Structure formats: C-alpha cells, structure tokens
Amino acid sequence: MPIDDAALLAAFRAGGALPDGFAAARDAWLARSARIGDTRLTAPVGGKVEILRDRAGVPHVYAGSTTDLYFGLGVAMAQDRLWQMDRLRRRALGRQAEILGPSFVAGDVAHLTVGIDRIAAREPALMDGPTYAAVASFVAGINRQIAAFGSGLPVEFRLLGYAPEPFTVGCVVAIARGLWWSLNGRIDRLMAAEAARLLPEAMRLMYLTPEASEHLVLPDGGSLAAGSDDATGSNNWAVAGRAAADGKALLAGDPHQPFWVPSSWYEYALHGPEDDAAGCGHPGVPGLWWGSNGTVAWSLTNNMASTRDLYRETVDPADPGRYRDGDVWRAFEERRLTIPVRGEGARDLVVRSTVRGPVVNALVTALEAGGDPPLSLRWVGHEHLDDLRASMAISRARDWRSFRDAVRDWSVAVFNFVYADVRGNVGYQMAGRIPVRGRITYGLRDADEPADRWTGYIPFDGLPHSYDPPRGYVASANQRIVPADYPHPIYGAYSQGHRGLRIDQAFAAGPGDAAATVALQNDVKNVRAERLTPHILGALAGAGEPDAAALAALLAPWDFRYGVDAVAPTVFETFMFHWQRRVLGQHMPDRLLDLAMQQTGLAVGLLADPAIAYFPGGTRAAAAEVAGAAMAALRTRLGDDPRRWTWGRVHLAHWRHPLSSAAVAEAFDIGPAPVDGGSHTVCNTGGELPPHGATSGAEYRIVVDFAAPESFLAVQNIGNSGVPGSPHYRDQFDAWRRGIYHTVHLRRAAVEAETQSRTEITPG
C-alpha cells in the first residue's frame, strides 16, 4: 500500500523495522521536497530580483540595487542551506543541545563561555550604515524564504519537530564570530605549548618548533612559531603572468576544514551595481572569501598568528570570589545561564570573568592533576570588528590597492590572502588585528606580569605583504610567514611547512597552466614522509627484531605518494602515531598525551638525530620497540597479509548527517568511500591519527586562469545544496575525488545557457 508523508516521517523518527517500499518512497518524497523549480515570490524589494541556478546548483543573483541583491542572496542561501544556517547560529549562541540532545552540551558550554551570544547582541548597533543595510536585507531575504516554505520546511525541521525563529542581524554576527572562534580560538594549542615545561629543558624548543619551520611564505620578508599538527589547513597560490605558461596570471585556493554535511562552504554569484563576482563563502554570512570578478581573483588560508592569550589569575587567599588586578582585588563577574537539553532537564552554567575575559578552564585539558588556577581568555574576537564590511568589500576590488584597502578591516581570524589580476600581477597580504605583548611566550601568561599585557596592535602596513615578487608567485599553506628578524613580533601555532615545500617543488619544475594547477591541488606526494622515511630506516637499520626489519622493508621502496592502493602510507602513519606516543609518554602522563600529540617537533627531531640522549636505552632501541607495536596494531586491524594494508582500506571519507539513523542514513549520509591524500599532502584529506579516516581537507577548490577571465573552475567535496534529496546534495562528490571541476561563469549569457531553475522576486 502507498506510504504517505505522515508514515514516512514516523518511520524516519522511529527507525527500527521499516515497511516494504520505504526506501523508494523516502527517496521520492525527499526529492519532491528538495526540488527548487521555477518560483515566483513577492517581497519588499525595490525592483525585480532574479536567482538563476546553473547545472552545479550555484545560484547567480541579479538585482538593480545592493540591498535588493543581498535580499536575493538571503533567499537563495535559505533555499539551499536553511537548516544548516539555523544549526550554525544555534552552535554559536549555545543552543544546539536544545534540538539535538545531550551530546551537544559541551559545544553549547564552550560558545556560551566565550560569550558569542553577548557579542551578537552588541555588534549590530556598532555597524556602519551601508554594512548594516546590506546585512539587514540579507536577513530579510532569509526570513522571506522561511515564510515561503510554510509547512514545507526542510526535512530536518520536520524530523525534529520545530520551526526556525526569524533571523536577525545579530544571528549573522553570531555565525561569523562562531566561525572565527573555531579558526582562531584553538586555546588547546596554548595548553599543548605550556606542556613543554614537563619535558627536560633541553628538549622544550624542539617540542615547540614546527616541522619544516624553515619554509616560509615570504622567505625574504619573520615569525616565531610554536608548531602544531592538526589535520586541518588550507593552500593557496597565485602565479604571475610572466611566470605562467600562457602569460596570464593564475590563482588557486582550497580551504581545509573538518568534513561536515552540509559542507562548510557555499558557492554563489552576485551581479548588482557594486558587486559582480562569483566564488564561495560561509553559510549564514554574506561575503565571497574565494572568488573572481573577472578583473581580480583572491583566495585565503588561515594564518595561525595568535590573537588570543590565556592568563593565570591569582585568587585572593581570603576570598575565592576575588582575583588580583594590579594592586587591587576584584570580584569575579558571574553570569548564570541555562542550557535547554532535548530529552533531558536543562543544565545550569555559571561563567566567571575577569577584566581580561571569561574564565575558560572548563574548555581545556588541565595540566595539573589537581586542576589549574583560573585561566582567563583575552581574544581579539571579543572586540568590535568590521569583519562583515570587509567580507563584502573584497569582491569589489579592481586592483591591488583597492584589494588591500578592503582587507584593512579584517581583524580575526588572521588570514593569508593571495591575489591575482587580469593584468598579470600577483600579491600576498597578511590581514588581521595582531596584539603586541611585552614578551613572547607560547603557552600561558600571567595576569600579574606587566610584560604579558597587550600594548597595542601591529599596524596594517606593518603586516607582511608582497607584490609581484621576483620568483613569480606567492603561496601559503598555514606555515610560518616571515623570518625571525621581521620588525614586528608575529608568532603563533603555525602548521608544518611540508605542503608549502611541495608547492615549491612543483613550481620549480617550470611554468604552469590551469591543468597543472588542478593537478597540484590534487597532488598526493607527502614531503613529510619523504623527509622522515630515511630517518626511520636509519633508526631501524641493524635492529634484530623481525618486525622492525619487516616494517623497514615495507617503507624502503615507497615513492611517498598517498594513493588508495599504496600500503606504505598505512605503515608510515601507524609507526609515526606510536612513535609520537612513545616519545611524549617518556615524560608526560597518559591523560595529557592526546593534548600533546599535535606537537610533533620532538618526535621528529629524535628520529633525525638518534644520538640525542632521551630514552634510557637509546633512540634506536625505542624505535625498534615502536616498530613492533605498529606491526602488531596493523595485523590486529587489517590481517596478517601486508599486501592488504592499503591506504584505501583505512582512509575513508564518510559524511554522517547529525540526524543519521537506519531509516535515513542511505539518503542523508555520504560515503564511506576511499580517498587519496592525507594530512600533509596538497590534496589534503586528513588521517594522521588512527583510525586514519579522511575526516578533514579541501571542501572547496577554485582555479582562476586569467587567460579566460569570464569564468573559472571550481569543485566542492559533496554538493552546494544542504537539503537531502536535492540533485545537488552530493553531485560533486565523485568529481571531487577524481579531480574534475565545473565551470562557473561571470557573464549572464553564459549563465543563461546553463540555467536549470529560476526564482523571480518582485516588489509587493
């Protein structure tokens, strides 16, 4: 018998045994619900607004005024990503557990502790007029589309049994600031750096120094670094016309994030009186952060420069409710909050703050077994920012000067922007509000120490930048920026330099073109493995243990490429995981090992120089022991035949929807599927920690070739729609895996030729 909508929703919610024909009925219903056909709306706009969706599901918004244009963007984004946008604002405002249950309480506690809800309440009144007007129009478009959905809201709302509240300008601020916190907060790295004090003094600098730290974005141009090795990052580069094969500038970018469904990024195009560009931005926030307007193109990566500090506070021995501030004792401010939790009672939260900022001990791993003193957070993101103004201004630039003027407003997260233009020029600009402190340190600071106070900010013109450098290109991959003698103190938890080294290797081979750029974005050679494998083989040379010899034999013939059919990547990553744990465990308690694992410099330094006195029995004996542990782990997991230990068996990309269940997984989830690459390849797909899954990487890739300035190439990792059942929910996944891109057009005639649906908004 036919399955009606009510029965479908009941089965979605209940799971368990499903009626015959359920899967077919489910997929047909989802497809009907998700389809965006030709649509007409009336709205309070000044003139006609059109949204033309191309064959990749990319909306091109056309309008005669800027406010109408952003209204149209709000409609388009809500059509494709409304539930994701609602979830993002809930995450930022500490309200995810209200709809998703107790597993999201920790995230709510974190965002409420940081105080993003307070920022969102304050910031709209501080915006300049044009920015506020554009954002308010964007919000009005979102709300108009919510009204247009009526009872036919995206399936997640119906499954969870709620409707979205109207959006406000404060919601947009919250989503943006929540993203900045995820990119630039990362206070666990400060704790990991502070853990260096548990090591012998002679080992601390090696622990803090990132691998390949000699590789810089601007070799002639300083930064100090405490290195880390999380799996996220990004790449970008721009090749000057004089260095490119066809004499025209090229630009590439691929932002790396933990893999989400829907994707972290959203493709769209704006065509209005001030805006005429296409590219990619973040759901819930206006602004193209990667893109082209036909005259200039731009891309960014996370810079990792520190815009936050944790301060040890001194508590009054006579009154635990007070802390020292200079020569006086002040009472901790207390904010009492309630976190609603689906299926449970509400949780109470008390957030204490000092003049420096909120106390965040609950958000980090304590270094002391009995607990650390109160740790207060000072973060640039707590200040007034003009980030939304900058987000919208970037795509309006027409030359290097106007581009730099646009990013002057950028404060946090600190970004590496690369630039190219139709005239063949390229540039690099670091942008962000970088505090100046009285001294450099990588871990915790002391609230009572004058040298740890902020004394100002590095001026924009003092930040590293480069225009048309002699080598003919600019590139960044989250590594250190400039050498240590740079006139301003720039330091942070920079990533290793291996992806940057690989980009340099590729450029050394000769001039590139668009095809070579696409190939480089999908390159799977691991320079880290190329550097470290000889040291592993050297450390294991002569070891009498059979497992040590067997592991060395598996690594010796390797070409250092992370293809799904290769065995060596699985062996290398397993050995390095066990080696890192063995090195850190020599001086750190087990409870801190997960925290300290992101600091890889010491483990690598000991392999590079086995004569360093660290292990009582020597480095070679420890390496042989670790080889045995790694081989045992591989046999237990993958069987006794090493030929079957291929990277594709462990390196699987699997996007699980937050509402995934037996009833909907096939329709809501994407994967699992084996993918090439790893954490340290330009084709970044994560996986350096067991179980070695592909959990992060390039969610978007863009290639702009000014030999054809009226279009560019792009691909997402899954699809542009966040609505299960949409033809664009997962349509780019196979193309992304295979390195195939779609064309994004900037001119209307070409867009019209590929238009698959239209939304027309008229005044009324």
Q: How far apart are CA 349 and CA 352, in angstroms?
A: 10
Q: How far apart are CA 113 and CA 123, in angstroms?
A: 18
- The crossing angle, in degrees rounded to 10, of helices 129-149 and 66-93 is 80
pLDDT given at position 220: 66
- Which helix or strand (DSSP H or E) is residue 714 part of? strand 711-716
Give 561's DSSP letter. B
Place of tokens 């107790």: 102
Q: Which tokens go with 401?
A: 């000067």
Q: How far apart are CA 28 and CA 400, in angstroms?
A: 50
Q: With a cut of 70, list the residues of the chain below it in pLDDT.
A: 1-4, 7, 14-17, 220-232
**CB of 316 closer than 8 Å to CB of 331:** no
CB atoms within 10 A of CB 745: 19
Per-position DSSP letters for 89-146, written without gaps between them: HHHHHT-SHHHH-GGGHHHHHHHHHHTHHHHHHHGGGGS-HHHHHHHHHHHHHHHHHH
Q: Do 189-228+266-306+382-497 and 309-381 have matching folds? A: no
pLDDT given at position 222: 39
Degrees to nearest 5, angle at CA 183 with 182 and 187? 70
Give 470's DSSP letter. T
Cis before 44? omega within 30: no
Q: How far apart are CA 580 and CA 596, in angstroms?
A: 9
**CB of 479 closer than 8 Å to CB of 210:** yes
CB atoms within 10 A of CB 292: 31
Could you tell me which residues come within 8 angstroms of residue 562 by beta carbon, excluding any fewer than 6 positions away?
524, 525, 526, 569, 647, 651, 676, 677, 678, 681, 683
Residues composing the chain: 764
Fold of 189-228+266-306+382-497: Glutamine Phosphoribosylpyrophosphate, subunit 1, domain 1 (3.60.20)
pLDDT given at position 522: 98
Q: Which tokens go with 634?
A: 């591989």
Q: Which tokens go with 461?
A: 């013109």
Q: Is 625 left (phi over 0), alpha (psi -120 to 50) or beta?
A: alpha
Question: Residue 375's closest CA among 300, 451, 438, 452?
Answer: 452
pLDDT given at position 213: 87
pLDDT given at position 227: 47
Question: Residue 101's closest CA among 302, 325, 363, 346?
Answer: 346
**CB of 221 closer than 8 Å to CB of 486:** yes
Q: How far apart are CA 84 and CA 719, in angstroms?
A: 14
Instruction: Give the full edge-to-edge strand order of the sheet including 319-325.
Output: 315-316, 319-325, 328-331
Q: How far is CA 4 from the centre of its chain?
A: 40
Long-range pairs for 404-410: beta carbons < 8 A, 24 or more residues apart: 404/429, 404/465, 407/431, 408/460
pLDDT given at position 232: 59
- Reduced to 3 states, what is the DSSP secondary structure of residue 627? helix
**CB of 674 closer than 8 Å to CB of 650:** no
Per-position DSSP letters for 481-541, written without gaps between them: -S-TT-SS--EE-PPPSHHHHHHHHHHHT----HHHHHHHHT--B-HHHHHHHHHHHHHHT
Q: How far apart are CA 178 and CA 184, in angstroms?
A: 10
CB atoms within 10 A of CB 47: 11
CATH 2.30.120.10 corresponds to the domain 309-381: yes
Question: Residue 612's closest CA among 586, 590, 631?
Answer: 586
CB atoms within 10 A of CB 462: 14
**CB of 235 closer than 8 Å to CB of 680:** no
CB atoms within 10 A of CB 118: 14
Could you tell me which residues come within 8 angstroms of residue 74 by beta carbon, excluding any fewer than 6 positions away?
137, 138, 139, 140, 141, 142, 143, 144, 145
pLDDT given at position 685: 95
Could you tell me which residues come within 8 angstroms of residue 154 by beta carbon, excluding any fewer than 6 positions away?
33, 34, 82, 83, 722, 723
Give the sign of the dihedral formed by CA 226, CA 231, CA 236, CA 237.
positive
Degrees to nearest 5, angle at CA 537 with 533 and 540? 140
Question: Residue 84's closest CA among 260, 340, 218?
Answer: 260
Give 263's DSSP letter. -
Q: Which tokens go with 230?
A: 């999380």
Amino acid letter, 574: T
pTM: predicted TM-score of the whole model, two decimal places: 0.96
Domain regions of the chain by residue span: 189-228+266-306+382-497, 309-381, 527-560+567-645
**CB of 139 closer than 8 Å to CB of 70:** no
Give the sign of the dihedral formed by CA 620, CA 625, CA 626, CA 628.
positive
Place of tokens 């501080």: 126
CA atoms within 13 A on the CB side of 400: 14
**CB of 314 closer than 8 Å to CB of 321:** no
**CB of 729 closer than 8 Å to CB of 717:** no
